[in-house]
């Protein structure tokens, strides 16, 4: 190995530095500011094309990640242009839930926590508060007592759709918040039941995770784990594992259940071990079955999500464990800052080299957003930078 190669390896395993955080925040907020004329009344598509986003209506599961970026940018810069844009978008979310546009699925938390709950918490927007309660009620309609879980997609109760997915752990804070806000226990009860069912069935004995899990609609008995976006049913889809990391941290935050802490340790250590053994730069490939030998695309968004989960959980862990996970998160963040963060003349997104869907011989997805910016990758990158630069109060 040449001296240059050794030096490069050492640098990629270095924790992010203060000047790197400052530079990354400046670049990200400049990119967002430049995009405001195009992306206030319109949102961004789920992923970029050649690193540039096109405008999109507020209909998919992802627009909340843009409004969330504006709230973070406002907190970081106090530039009211971001607040004004976010509030325009909150009105759009209010309209969306009132007219029930594209809400027949479980992603109400991704949509409403980062837009409307953030608006309520940061600037006291009652439009945001009321819309978020409506979104929580919408999410509650997908809960099945037979099986004790929230159905992710498709026609309610249909056998072909009788499943939960790991991503849903990030939709549950909406329910915890709704209980805090309304004092009605029903939301928290559903969130807790879903978490128990999800963790019991999605996490394998080695702490890798299934993406989705089916149940018998008549008995509620667990049936089988199946992937939708991972390489195959038995492999650990990288973003699913990352949702598991942040999802267990959030579950612990709201329940203080030690079982959630144990699950956090398990799924996070599995993720870290895969990075340390197979990914020189500490950023995963789109499925954790792959390593540096396989020539597969990276999913930077998984890295950013996992880091946010580690930094959240570090607030609740004993000192030595907190220091360990914080250091890992700072190393991954260093790698993202050096090799994945977008420059303003090359992209209108924030974080390059993500994957939405990658086709495999074992999944039914077509390639979509492969080696592109993803709207959630951009959001979690900015959340990570925010967490590293200030004492941030969570929107989730
Ligand atoms: N929640 C969908 C995804 O992570 O692609």
Burial class (CB in 10 A: 0-12, 13-18, 19+), 272: buried
CA of residue 24 to ligand 1 center, whole Å: 25
R_g over Cα of the chain: 20
pLDDT the model gives residue 6: 55
Spell out the residues 6+ positions from residue 100 whose beta carbon is closer than 8 angstroms to its own. Answer: 138
For residue 235, what are the CA distances in angstroms to 36, 201, 208, 228? 40, 15, 8, 11
Q: Which of 242, 355, 376 to mutate to test the pocket of ligand 1 (most atoms within 8 A of CB)?
A: 376
Structure tokens at 99: 């007219």
339 close to 281: Cβ distance less than 8 angstroms: yes
Give nearest CA residue, ligand 1 atom 1: 167
Q: Write out residues in the chain with pLDDT < 70, as ranges.
A: 1-12
Ligand 1 contact via 229 beta carbon (within 6 Å): yes
Catalytic residue list:
107, 167
pLDDT the model gives residue 128: 98
Ligand 1 contact via 167 beta carbon (within 6 Å): yes
Ligand 1 contact via 299 beta carbon (within 6 Å): no
Helix (H) or strand (E) holding 163, with range, is: strand 163-165
pLDDT the model gives residue 10: 63
CA of residue 211 to ligand 1 center, whole Å: 10
User: Of all atoms in ligand 1, which is nearest to the CA of residue 243?
Assistant: 4
| Cα separation, 220 vs 214, whole angstroms | 9
User: Of all atoms in ligand 1, which is nearest to the CA of residue 301?
Assistant: 4
Spell out the residues 6+ positions from residue 8 whose beta carbon is closer than 8 angstroms to its own. Answer: none
CA of residue 18 to ligand 1 center, whole Å: 31
Give nearest CA residue, ligand 1 atom 5: 356
CA of residue 65 to ligand 1 center, whole Å: 12
CA of residue 55 to ligand 1 center, whole Å: 20
Strand 212-215: give its sheet, edge to edge: 163-165, 212-215, 222-226
Ligand 1 contact via 211 beta carbon (within 6 Å): no
User: Of all atoms in ligand 1, which is nearest to the CA of residue 107?
Assistant: 1
Whether the full predicted model's pTM is greater than 0.75, yes or no, is: yes
**Beta-bridge partners for 372:** 354
Q: Which of 106, 113, 167 to mutate to test the pocket of ligand 1 (most atoms within 8 A of CB)?
A: 167
pLDDT the model gives residue 79: 98
């Amino acid at each position: 190995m040449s001296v240059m190669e050794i030096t490069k390896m050492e640098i990629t395993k270095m924790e992010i530095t203060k000047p790197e955080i400052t530079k990354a925040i400046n670049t990200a907020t400049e990119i967002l500011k430049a995009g405001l004329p195009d992306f206030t009344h319109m949102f961004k598509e789920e992923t970029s094309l050649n690193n540039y986003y096109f405008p999109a209506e507020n209909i998919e599961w992802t627009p909340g990640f843009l409004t969330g970026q504006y709230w973070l940018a406002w907190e970081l810069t106090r530039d009211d242009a971001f607040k004004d844009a976010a509030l325009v978008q909150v009105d759009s979310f209010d309209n969306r839930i009132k007219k029930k546009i594209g809400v027949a699925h479980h992603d109400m938390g991704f949509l409403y926590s980062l837009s409307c709950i953030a608006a309520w918490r940061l600037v006291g927007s009652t439009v945001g508060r009321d819309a978020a309660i409506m979104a929580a009620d919408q999410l509650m309609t997908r809960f099945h007592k037979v099986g004790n879980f929230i159905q992710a997609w498709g026609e309610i109760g249909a056998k072909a759709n009788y499943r939960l997915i790991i991503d849903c752990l990030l939709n549950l804070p909406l329910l915890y918040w709704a209980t805090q806000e309304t004092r009605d226990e029903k939301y928290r009860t559903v969130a807790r039941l879903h978490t128990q069912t999800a963790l019991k069935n999605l996490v394998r004995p080695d702490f890798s995770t299934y993406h989705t899990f089916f149940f018998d609609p008549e008995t509620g008995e667990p049936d089988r784990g199946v992937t939708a976006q991972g390489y195959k049913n038995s492999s650990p889809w990288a973003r699913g594992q990352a949702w598991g990391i942040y999802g267990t941290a959030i579950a612990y935050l709201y329940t203080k259940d030690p079982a959630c802490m144990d699950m956090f340790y398990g799924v996070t250590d599995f993720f870290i071990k895969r990075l340390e053994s197979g990914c020189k730069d500490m950023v995963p490939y789109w499925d954790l079955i792959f390593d540096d030998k396989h020539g597969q695309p990276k999913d930077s968004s998984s890295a950013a999500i996992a880091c946010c989960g580690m930094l959240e959980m570090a607030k609740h862990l004993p000192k030595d464990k907190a220091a360990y996970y914080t250091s890992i998160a700072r190393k991954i963040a260093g790698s993202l800052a050096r090799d994945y963060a977008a420059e303003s003349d090359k992209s209108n997104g924030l974080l390059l080299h993500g994957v939405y869907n990658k086709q495999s011989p074992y999944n039914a997805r077509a390639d979509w957003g492969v080696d592109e910016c993803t709207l959630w990758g951009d959001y979690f990158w900015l959340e990570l930078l925010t967490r590293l630069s200030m004492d941030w109060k969570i929107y989730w």
